[in-house]
């Protein structure tokens, strides 16, 4: 929304961007005169961390299983937060391999390597420091061991 106030040959434009981050082009026309400006609207402070998409269960046989984690952080309007926003990740068990602790396009990527000895459920936590933006999720493990039948004669 743009408000225009003209007084004594001068003009003042007040721009209210709403909730969408990105480029905004503003064009003002008075009589035959037209001017255009582009304003970059930045995302707001972190407000939410989306729960990562997780399988209902992970079957861990005799080899480790790696689960890819994609965690999205957004402002109050759902815009991805600014690149470089710090996110802390933790897991109650397994080997959490954090690829980067700073967001890129509002995302953090990590891998969780699980073995048959890990305790189920594995609790995951993602949080933005000094912010209410955080999420917790549990991942249920189904451990299997391959057993050969015992035959006696």
**By the 8 A CB rule, do 124 and 52 touch?**
yes
As a whole number, mean pLDDT of residues 3-26 equals: 76
pLDDT band, very low/low/confident/very high, at 28 (cuts 50, 70, 90)? confident
Distance, in Å, from the CA atom of 148 to the CA atom of 2, rounded to the nearest integer, reads: 75
Q: What is the pLDDT of residues 47-99, one digit of tens each?
A: 999 988 888 888 888 789 999 999 999 999 999 999 999 999 999 999 999 99
pLDDT band, very low/low/confident/very high, at 18 (cuts 50, 70, 90)? confident
Cα angle 115-118-119, degrees, rounded to a multiple of 5: 155
CA 58 to chain centre: 23
The yes-or-no verdict on residue 22 having pLDDT over 80 is: yes
């Amino acid at each position: 929304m743009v408000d225009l106030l003209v007084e004594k040959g001068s003009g003042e434009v007040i721009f209210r961007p709403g909730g969408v981050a990105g480029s905004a082009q503003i064009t003002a026309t008075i009589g035959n005169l037209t001017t255009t400006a582009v304003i970059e609207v930045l995302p707001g402070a972190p407000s939410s961390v989306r729960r990562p998409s997780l399988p209902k269960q992970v079957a861990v046989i005799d080899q480790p299983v790696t689960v890819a984690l994609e965690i999205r952080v957004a402002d109050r309007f759902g815009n991805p937060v600014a690149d470089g926003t710090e996110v802390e990740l933790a897991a109650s068990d397994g080997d959490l391999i954090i690829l980067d602790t700073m967001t890129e396009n509002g995302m953090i990527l990590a891998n969780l390597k699980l073995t048959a000895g890990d305790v189920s459920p594995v609790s995951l936590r993602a949080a933005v420091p000094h912010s209410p933006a955080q999420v917790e999720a549990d991942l249920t493990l189904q451990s299997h061991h391959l057993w050969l039948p015992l035959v006696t004669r």
